[in-house]
Amino acid sequence: MILVGDDPGSAIYVRNKKKATVECGMKSFGYELPADVPEAELLGLIDALNADPNVHGILCQLPLPKHLDEFKVTCRIDPAKDVDGLHPMNVGLLSMGREGPVSCTPAGVMVMLHRAGIEVAGKECVVIGRSNIVGKPVAQLLLKENGTVTVCHSRTKDLKAVVRRADVVVVAIGRAKMVTGDWIKPGAVVVDVGINRNAEGKVVGDVDFDSVAEVAGAVTPVPNGVGPMTIAMLLRNTLDAFKRAEKARAAAR
């Protein structure tokens, strides 16, 4: 795990991820670099981790300080060790419906749907948000499972009307309690990815849970909904990367 700079949010995420890896018996190697680290030094560290056979997963916590090119850094990670599923190679595999590491939060959303017995095949699925880390990959995963997927964003006209058509709504906007009960078709499934702090400093989602719960068939809470799934999927991606590496090693023998 690579943490650059001293963003307090990122530090908490990295600490929690590290704790979880150790708890499940994985070895975690942490690298904390100063906010002004030269790009070449960060890329050199990634190269060393790519080459280290004891490392199966590399995570560089985003966002990075402004002087560092996030795309370049993401591309430098060996796709086989890209446990965040953000390398263009893995994004490409996902868009082709092929196996590979998938971005952790979207993967967690799908596991929640599966475990709750919610089928998306043939359903109207609306994703609000089109980020590379959540909106786009979650849309690809819903499509892979034969949902009829609409991706909405800040320029979508009459968002509420689009959302009201949906059987499954995944909300990843970053605006506290924006989606209210009157946006939701009765019985629809609502997954809230948002993490926001309200005026009192409390963590709230993008969904107004109370009003949505009155009409929805199911709705995930914030906190303790999608959030913990993200870390669980990071562990799963790391274990999968390890298994693939072992298989390749055995085949090369």
| Residues near ligand NAD (CB under 6 A) | 105, 128-131, 133-135, 152-154, 156, 159, 172-175, 193-196, 226-227, 230
Rounded to a whole number of angstroms, the minimum distance from the CB of residue 33 to ligand NAD is 22
The nearer residue to ligand NAD, 80 or 129, going by C-beta atoms, is 129
Rounded to a whole number of angstroms, the minimum distance from the CB of residue 176 to ligand NAD is 9
Return the number of other C-beta atoms located less than 10 Å from residue 120's C-beta.
22
Nearest to 4 by CA among 29, 31, 41, 27: 31
- CA 231 to the chain's CA centroid: 9
Rounded to a whole number of angstroms, the minimum distance from the CB of residue 195 to ligand NAD is 4
Residue 222 has phi, psi (to 5 degrees) of -135, 125
The nearer residue to ligand NAD, 49 or 227, going by C-beta atoms, is 227
* Rounded distance between C-alpha atoms, residue 138 and residue 97, angstroms: 12
User: One of 82, 84, 167, 206 is an active-site residue; which one?
Assistant: 84
The nearer residue to ligand NAD, 20 or 43, going by C-beta atoms, is 20
Residue 49 has phi, psi (to 5 degrees) of -70, -35
Q: How many helices (H) and strands (E) does the chain have?
A: 9, 9
- Residue number of the CB closest to ligand NAD reads 131
Rounded to a whole number of angstroms, the minimum distance from the CB of residue 224 to ligand NAD is 10
**Residue 17 is a catalytic residue:** yes
The nearer residue to ligand NAD, 49 or 152, going by C-beta atoms, is 152
- CA 85 to the chain's CA centroid: 9
Return the number of other C-beta atoms located less than 10 Å from residue 239's C-beta.
15
Query: Sign (positive/negative) of CA torsion 184, 190, 195, 197?
Result: positive
User: One of 61, 81, 136, 185 is an active-site residue; which one?
Assistant: 61
Q: Catalytic positions, please?
A: 17, 61, 84
